[in-house]
Amino acid sequence: MRRPVIAANWKMHKSSEEAEAFLRIFVPLWTDRRVEVVICPSFVSLERVAQAAGEIGLAVGAQDVYWEAQGAFTGEVSADMLVRAGCSYVIVGHSERRKIFNELDTDVGKKAQATLIHGLSPVICVGETMDERKAGLTGEVVERQLRQAVRSVERVEASRLVIAYEPVWAIGTGVTATPADAALVAREIRSLLDRLLGPGAGEEVRVQYGGSVKASNIAGFMESLEVDGALVGGASLDPAQFADLVNNSLSLREKE
Output phi, psi for 236, to 5 deg: -95, 0
From 166, 188, 223, 226, the catalytic residue: 166
How far is residue 110 CA from its own chain's centroid?
Answer: 17
Buried b (16+ CB within 10 A) or exposed e, 60-91: bbbbbbbbeeeeeeeeebbbbbbbebbbbbbb
Asked about 166 being catalytic, the answer comes back as yes
Q: Determine the distance from the C-alpha atom of residue 138 to the mean position of all C-alpha atoms in its chain, rounded to a whole number.
A: 19
Catalytic, out of 36, 94, 188, 223 = 94
Give 97's contacts (C-beta < 8 A, 6+ positions apart): 64, 103
C-alpha 135 chain-centroid distance: 26
Strand-pairing partners, residue 209, are 165, 230
Q: Measured between alpha carbons, how far is 150 from 245 in angstroms, rounded to an integer?
A: 30
Are the C-beta atoms of residues 182 and 227 closer than 8 Å to each other? yes
Residue 94 is among the residues annotated as catalytic for this protein? yes
Q: CA 133, CA 75: separation in Å to the nearest integer?
A: 34
Assess contact for 63 and 72: CB atoms under 8 A: no
Strands (E), 65-173: 89-92, 121-126, 162-165
Residues annotated as catalytic (active site), given as ranges:
94, 166
